[in-house]
Chains A and B, each alone.
Chain A
Amino acid sequence: MQTSGNMKWLWLAIGAIVMLALPQLVSSSFAIDIFIRILLFSFIGVAWNLMGGYAKQLSLGHAAYFGLGAYTSTIMQVNYGISPWIGMIAGGVVATLASLPIGWLCFRLRGPYFTIATIATAQVLMLIFLKFRDFAWGAEGTTIPNLGSAPLMMQFEEKSSYYYVVLGLLVVGLWITHQIEKSWIGYYLVAIGEDEDAAEAIGVNAPKVKRDIYMISAFLTALAGTFYTQYIYFIDPATAFSFSVSIEAALVSIVGGIGTLWGPVIGTVLLETTSALLQSWLGSSVGGIQLTVYSLILMAVILWRPTGLIGFATDVYHRTLRRKPARA
């Protein structure tokens, strides 16, 4: 959307004030929990979107990096007493390094088989961590020692503090995406996403660009893993490498608008709000209802609006204002 520069800054300022004030205005911890989930999954979606949205490398294995981030910081904290703030960065580095061999293997396949290979790598990591009983607690997992109020150890008494941490992560993710969008690498990514062979033919070093963006995407996803573990005070292979993390990362981006800056955020708001409403209406007694609804939304988006809600909103905006056709 072509808004003038000043308007854009005004909107951003209003948005920032609302986001900063939100936890002060809402006292219900249920609501703040939902806000935190929305911000967290928006952030994971933003990380996925760099890789899946712009370069169209549709990974369903981002739980691998989420889990590596979670385990790195937790192992450092529980076994060596190192602050999760440091562990978070270390987790990001571990995930980035892991993305090199994983990418080397998976990028040999294209399209759906790339997707399957990414699923397999996340599963392998989960199985490996199930086996590591000596320093990673095996299948039982472990609880994070609760230190009360310890901001230096990423532990807070107020839920709103967690809110600000994850809000910060999301801002970083969006800022990085914005920088990439504006840069040459952004154009390279879109070219690879449109047609990889054609992109290579005009001189884009596709393997290198894909590798680099995969590293960034993995790094960011790992940060989310650390945050989530600190937030729920618990880790085990099934939650850290949960397939549903991989699914939701992709889902929010696709529903919101794949390959767009704000798509993952909008998708998460829709999906998480729907899920929260369903939970409050039906209770959690009906297993499977949340993902049933998610999958119906996903199908509807794919069949009728492959550009997602952002594409839909843009179409409506152009049509009602009759400025120009939605797409050339």
Chain B
Amino acid sequence: MWETLAQAVINGLLIGGIYALVSIGVTLIFGVVKIVNFAQGEFVMLGMYISFFLATQFGIDPLVSLVVSMPVLFVAGVLIQHFLIRRVLGPNDMPQIFLTFALSLLLLNLSLMLFSANYRTVHTSYSDEAWHIGGLYIPVAKLIAFAVAMALSGLLWVFLHTTDLGRAMRAASQNRDVAMLMGINPNRVFAVAFGTALALAGAAGSLLMPFYSAYPFVGQVFVLMAFVAVVMGTLGNVMGALVASLMMGIAESLGIQFVGADSGLIVVFALLLLTLAFRPSGLGARRGR
């Protein structure tokens, strides 16, 4: 019993690292640019396909292709922010929600046309490897993904807290108007935030590739998880999103283990609804706000 429980927690924690990369991206964009990127999951999907094609065409290991998928998606993010998102920033919600939503639909269905609905996998030397510690089973590919995800989250934290640009992003997320009065160029900050968020999604995609199949709808799984984590972890809060994502992963895994194979999502949504009912401003919210 305890071993099953510990195993479920480990499985959840490892996949939670990937959820964290996606939710940190969502919350970063929400915090800085003040929009919700409904297409975040589709960028995970693109990251997966980039790694898939680099692996099948040039034999590049998915973990190595991280150095391609991240910059490519960063540039894509800057361009999307500059040419699309910038045009709909304003007090009106409708264009913002439905622009990124349309982007999500577009990327998803274009991939369906170009890549077909087939499941694509990449087999690496470590795909089937696992460590056995005590009675526990730890798949190496997932462990690497988790470790790299945590390292990237840490790097982002350092970037946000020690560099001028990072501080400017945090300032813009706390109070955009005052930040601009202090001479922060919003367009530059927004573009970097959007690019960074997409680079994280791309990283998530590459990290998933050794143990997860790529298909056009794959992003939907991750983005739903990310939205729930971001709401639970308080909108716009990077640390909150990280912690909530790991909790999400564990909750989902416990659901699968103890309620039934198709119950993971129900547990996650139940958590979301409970959060909304009892703590609508999220778990990371400060009191009195």
Residues of A within 8 A of B (CB): 56, 58, 60, 105-106, 108-109, 111-113, 115-117, 119-121, 123-124, 127-128, 130-131, 247, 250, 254, 258, 286-292, 294-296, 298-299, 302-303, 306
Given A112-B36, A123-B269; A302-B98 close (CB under 8 Å):
yes
Closest to A255 in B: B98
Q: Which of B89-126 contact A (CB under 8 A)?
A: 92-99, 101-103, 105-106, 108-113, 116-117
- B88 lies within 8 A of A303 (CB): yes
Say which residue of A111, A120, A247, A295 sits within 8 Å of B97 (CB atoms): A111
Identify which of B139-147, B150-158, B165-173, B227-235 touches chain A: B227-235
Given A112-B96, A302-B88; A295-B224 close (CB under 8 Å):
no
Question: Quick check: is B60 within 8 A (CB to CB) of the other chain?
Answer: no
Say which residue of B36, B88, B216, B231 sits within 8 Å of A288 (CB atoms): B216
Given A291-B108, A292-B109; A109-B231 close (CB under 8 Å):
yes
Q: Could you say which residues of chain A place their CB within 8 Å of the CB of B30?
A: 112
- Shortest A123–chain B CB gap in Å is 6
Q: Which of B266-280 contact A (CB under 8 A)?
A: 266, 269-270, 272-273, 276-277, 280
Given A120-B228, A295-B105; A303-B87 close (CB under 8 Å):
yes
Say which residue of B110, B235, B280 sits within 8 Å of A292 (CB atoms): B110
Q: Could you say which residues of chain A place their CB within 8 Å of the CB of B129?
A: none
Residues of B within 8 A of A (CB): 30, 35-36, 38, 84, 87-88, 92-99, 101-103, 105-106, 108-113, 116-117, 216, 224, 227-228, 231, 235, 262, 265-266, 269-270, 272-273, 276-277, 280
* Distance of A105 Cα from B94 Cα, bound (Å): 21
Say which residue of A121, A286, A292, A299 sits within 8 Å of B99 (CB atoms): A299
Given A254-B98, A295-B105; A124-B276 close (CB under 8 Å):
no
**8 examples of A-B residue contacts, CB within 8 angstroms:** A58-B97, A108-B276, A112-B35, A112-B38, A112-B96, A120-B269, A127-B265, A130-B262
- Shortest B41–chain A CB gap in Å is 12
- Shortest B86–chain A CB gap in Å is 11
Q: Could you say which residues of chain B place their CB within 8 Å of the CB of A299?
A: 84, 99, 102-103, 106
- B235 lies within 8 A of A58 (CB): no
- A289 lies within 8 A of B109 (CB): yes
Closest to B87 in A: A303
- B105 lies within 8 A of A294 (CB): yes
* Distance of A131 Cα from B270 Cα, bound (Å): 15
* Distance of A247 Cα from B102 Cα, bound (Å): 10
* Distance of A60 Cα from B231 Cα, bound (Å): 17
Closest to A293 in B: B109
Q: Could you say which residues of chain B place their CB within 8 Å of the CB of A131?
A: 262
Given A105-B276, A113-B235; A288-B95 close (CB under 8 Å):
no
